[in-house]
Amino acid sequence: MSDAPGPAGDDASGADDGASVPAIRRVAGTGVPLRGDDIDTDQILPARFLKAVTFDDMGTYAFYDRRRDEDGGRNDHPFNEYRGANVLAVNDNFGCGSSREHAPQGLMRWGVEAIVGESFAEIFRDNCKSLGIATLSVAPEEAEALQSFIEANPDAGIEVDVREETVRYGGTTVEGEVPDAMREALLAGIWDTTAVMRSNLDRAKAVRDALPYTDD
Amino acid sequence: MSEGTLYDKVWERHKVADLPNGQDQLFVGLHLVHEVTSPQAFGMLREREMEVAFPDRTVATTDHIVPTTAEGRSRPLADERAEEMLTHLERNTEEAGIRFFGLDDDRQGIAHVVGPELGFVQPGMTVVCGDSHTSTHGAFGAIGMGIGTSQIRDVFATGSVSADRKAVRRVEVTGELGDGVGAKDVILNVIRELGVDGGVGHVYEYGGEAIRALDMEGRLAVCNMSIEGGARAGYINPDETTYEYLRGREFAPEGEAFEERREYWESIRSDEDAEYDDVVEVDASGLAPQVSWGTTPEQVVGVDEPVPEPSETRDPDAAETAQAHTEVTPGETMEGHGIDVAFLGTCTNGRVADFREAARVLAGREVADGVRALAVPGSGTVKRTLEAAGIDRVFEDAGFQWREAGCSMCLAMNDDALEGEEVCASSSNRNYVGRQGSTEGRTHLMSPGMVAAAAVEGAVTDVRAFDTADEVGRSVADAEVDG
Ligand code: SF4
Same fold, B7-163 and B292-477: yes
Q: Do B50 and A53 touch (CB under 8 A)?
A: no
Q: Do A97 and B430 touch (CB under 8 A)?
A: yes
Nearest chain A residue to B119 by CA distance is A216
- Whether residue B164 and residue A55 make contact (CB cut-off 8 A), yes or no, is no
Percent of chain B with pLDDT over 90: 95
Closest CA to A105 of B41, B22, B197: B41
Per-residue pLDDT band for A1 (boundaries 50, 70, 90) equals very low
Which residue among B21, B81, B151 places its CB closest to the CB of A184?
Answer: B21
Report CB contact under 8 Å: B232, A1.
no
pLDDT score at A215: 80
Contact A193 B154 (CB under 8 A): yes
| Ligand 1 and B409: CB distance under 6 A | no
Q: Do B411 and A47 touch (CB under 8 A)?
A: yes
- The minimal CB distance from B261 to the residues A131, A197, A213 is found for A213
C-beta atoms of B318 and A37 within 8 A: yes
Report whether B161 contacts B24 (CB < 8 A). no
CA B328 to chain centre: 26
The per-residue pLDDT for A188 is 87
A211 — pLDDT class (breaks 50, 70, 90): very high
Domain boundaries, given as residue ranges, for chain B? 7-163, 167-283, 292-477
As a three-state string, the secondary structure of B315-341 is CHHHHHHHHHHHCCCCCCECCCCECCE
Secondary-structure percent of chain B, ordered helix, strand, coil, rounded to 5: 40, 20, 45
Residues with Cβ within 8 Å of residue B422, at least 6 apart in sequence: B340, B341, B372, B438, B441, B442
State the average pLDDT over residues B393-412: 97
What's the mean pLDDT in A30-42? 96
B167-283 in CATH: which number? Answer: 3.40.1060.10
State whether B200 and A121 contact (CB < 8 Å).
yes
Region of residue B19 (phi > 0: left; psi between -120 and 50: alpha; otherwise: beta): beta
In Å, how far is B411's CA from the nearest CA of chain A?
7
Whether a cis peptide bond, with omega within 30° of 0, leads into B238 is: no
Is the pLDDT confidence value at B327 over 60?
A: yes
State the virtual CA torsion across A185, A186, A191, A197 in degrees, nearest 10: -20
A209 Cβ contact list (under 8 Å, min separation 6): none
Per residue in A123-155, pLDDT (tens digit) is: 999 999 999 999 999 999 999 999 999 999 999
Among B124, B160, B196, the residue with its CB nearest the CB of A197 is: B160
pLDDT tops 60 at residue A8: no
Nearest-angstrom CA–CA distance, B325 and B318: 11
> How far is the centre of ligand 1, averaged over its atoms, from the C-alpha of B429 (Å)?
8
Query: How confident is the model at residue A84, as a pLDDT?
Result: 96
Indicate left, alpha or beta for A152 from its phi (over 0: left) and psi (-120 to 50: alpha). alpha
State whether residue A216 sits within 8 Å of chain B by CB: yes
Predicted confidence at residue A190, as pLDDT, reads 77
> Mean pLDDT throughout A9-16?
33
Residue A70 has a CB neighbour count (10 Å cut-off) of 8
Contact assignment for A12 to B20 by CB distance below 8 Å = yes
* Class (C level, CATH) for B292-477: alpha beta
Q: Is B410 in the pocket of ligand 1 (CB under 6 A)?
A: yes
- In this prediction, residue A72 carries a pLDDT of 81
Residue nearest (by alpha carbon) to ligand 1 atom 6: B407
Q: How many angstroms away from the CA of A43 is the closest CA of chain B?
A: 8
Task: Tell me which residue has its CA closest to atom 5 in ligand 1.
Answer: B347
Percent of chain B exceeding pLDDT 70 equals 97
Q: Which helix (H) or strand (E) holds B373?
A: strand B372-376
Question: If you average pLDDT over every residue of chain B, what do you get?
Answer: 95
Strand order in the sheet with A172-175: A26-29, A158-161, A166-169, A172-175
Which residue of B16, B261, B421 to mutate against A (max A Cβ within 10 Å)? B16
A171: closest CA of chain B, how far (Å): 31
In contact, B32 and B128? CB cutoff 8 Å: yes
Q: Quick one: pLDDT at residue A18?
A: 40
Element (H, E) at B290: strand B290-292
Read off the pLDDT of residues B137-162 as tens digits, 9 standing for 90 and up.
999 999 999 999 999 999 999 999 99
Q: Are B118 and B250 in contact (CB under 8 A)?
A: yes
C-alpha B175, offset from chain centre: 23
Supply the pLDDT for residue B478: 56
d(CA B423, CA B440): 9
Element (H, E) at B7: helix B6-14
Residue B67 and residue B376: Cα distance in Å, rounded?
11
Torsion of CA B339, B343, B348, B353, to 10 degrees: 110
- How confident is residue B355, by pLDDT bands cut at 50, 70 and 90? very high
Q: Which of B18, B19, B105, B17 has its CA nearest to residue B60?
A: B105
- ipTM, two decimals: 0.93
Strand A114-117 with B58-61, pairing: unpaired
- What percent of chain A stands above pLDDT 90? 79
Q: Are strands B423-426 and B341-345 parallel, antiparallel or unpaired?
A: parallel
Q: Check CB contact under 8 Å for B51 and A210.
A: no
| DSSP-based three-state secondary structure for A207 | helix
**Residue of B16, B40, B47 with shortest CB distance to A204:** B16
Q: How far is the CA of B340 from the centre of ligand 1 (A)?
A: 21
Query: What residues of chain A lie within 8 A of the CB of B15, using their CB?
Result: 207
Across B273-292, average pLDDT: 97
CA distance B374 to chain A (A): 20
Residue-wise DSSP of B380-446: HHHHHHHHHTTHHHHHHHHT-EE--SS-GGGTTSSS----TT-EEEE-SS---TTTTS-TT-EEEE-
Nearest-CA distance B450 → chain A (Å)? 24
Question: Does ligand 1 lie within 6 Å of residue B35's CB atom?
Answer: no
What per-residue confidence (pLDDT) applies to B479? Answer: 53
What structural domains does chain A harbor?
A: 2-15+24-209 (3.20.19.10)
Closest atom of ligand 1 relative to the A98 alpha carbon = 8
Nearest to A93 among B65, B132, B196 (CB): B196
Q: Looking at the domain that runs over B7-163, which CATH code has it been given?
A: 3.30.499.10
Contacts of residue A190, defined as CB under 8 A and 6 or more positions apart, other chains included, come to A13, A14, A15, A21, A184, A196, B20, B21
Q: Determine the residue of B343, B410, B414 to mutate for testing ligand 1's pocket, defined as the one with the most ligand atoms within 8 A of the Cβ atom.
A: B410
Q: Is B261 in the pocket of ligand 1 (CB under 6 A)?
A: no
User: CA B428 from chain center: how many Å?
Assistant: 8
How confident is the model over B202-222, as a mean pLDDT?
Answer: 98
Between CA B251 and CA A155 the distance in angstroms is 59
Cβ pairs A/B, distance under 8 A? 225
Of B108, B404, B407, B409, the one to substitute when testing ligand 1's pocket (max ligand atoms within 8 A of C-beta) is B407
B61 within ligand 1 shell (Cβ under 6 A): no
* pLDDT (tens digit per residue) in A61-106: 999 999 998 788 899 999 999 999 999 999 999 999 999 999 999 9
How many residues are given for chain A?
216
Please give the average per-residue pLDDT across B451-470, as a whole number. 90
- Residue B199 near residue B169 (C-beta atoms within 8 A): yes
Which element (helix H / strand E) includes B61? Answer: strand B58-61
In the 8-state DSSP scheme, what is residue B281? E
Amino acid B142 reads: A
Confidence class for position A216, pLDDT limits 50, 70, 90: low
Mean pLDDT of A171-193: 90
Q: How far is the CA of B144 from the centre of ligand 1 (A)?
A: 15
Task: Calculate the CA dihedral of residues B126, B106, B430, B468 and round it to 10 degrees.
Answer: -110
Q: What is the pLDDT of residue B89?
A: 98
Tell me the backbone φ, ψ of residue B237, rounded to 5 degrees: -60, 140
Determine, for residues B19 and A40 on separate chains, whether the beta-carbon distance falls below 8 Å: no
Q: Is B110 in the pocket of ligand 1 (CB under 6 A)?
A: yes
pTM for the predicted model, two decimal places: 0.92
Residue B54 has pLDDT above 90, yes or no: yes
Answer yes or no: are the C-beta atoms of B262 and B255 closer than 8 Å: no
Give the pLDDT score at B20: 87
